[in-house]
């Protein structure tokens, strides 16, 4: 699915919609991609003359990819991070790179979901971690 299709599932909008495309590859697995253009807000000042995608942004990209798996369950609800665990940053993600993210939901107890994800650039691991989030219906 492209950005417009993703917007039908996720409440995120620019500049915080951080995946360009995503696809469900199994019942509990999804792949997402984001190409770093170089003009993103999160690169301003991180770091001058040597921009690097911040680790917390990489974690958000993994979570957004994972939310694609929940499909219609996300509709009308907001996904909130409830935890991050065993997060590791192995390589930098730089302007011009396309981050490919693979996420799997490992357990669910609605409204809580538990997942693991990995993000790679050209087959080289950049980030990995476990995370949890809650889907909260807004009133």
Give, as one character, the DSSP assignment of residue 75. Answer: T
Distance of CA 3 to the CA centre of its chain: 13
Give, as one character, the DSSP assignment of residue 50. Answer: S
Residue 104 near residue 117, CB atoms below 8 Å: yes
Of the candidates 131, 133, 134, which has an alpha carbon nearest to the alpha carbon of residue 58? 131
Q: Is 46 a catalytic residue?
A: yes
Give, as one character, the DSSP assignment of residue 72. Answer: G
- Paired strand residues for 107: 114
Torsion sign (Cα): 83, 4, 97, 54: negative
Catalytic residue among 20, 46, 108, 118: 46
Catalytic sites, residue numbers = 46
């Amino acid at each position: 699915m492209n950005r417009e299709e993703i917007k039908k599932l996720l409440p995120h909008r620019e500049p915080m919609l951080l995946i360009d495309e995503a696809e469900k590859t199994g019942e509990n697995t999804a792949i997402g991609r984001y190409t770093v253009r170089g003009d993103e807000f999160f690169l301003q000042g991180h770091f001058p003359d040597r921009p690097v995608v911040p680790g917390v942004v990489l974690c958000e990209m993994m979570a957004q990819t994972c939310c694609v798996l929940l499909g219609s369950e996300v509709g009308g609800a907001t996904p909130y991070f409830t935890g991050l665990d065993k997060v590791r940053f192995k390589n930098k993600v730089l302007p011009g790179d396309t981050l490919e993210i693979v996420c799997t939901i490992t357990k669910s107890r609605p409204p809580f979901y538990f997942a693991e994800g990995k993000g790679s650039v050209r087959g080289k691991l950049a980030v990995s971690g476990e995370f949890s989030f809650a889907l909260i219906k807004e009133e």
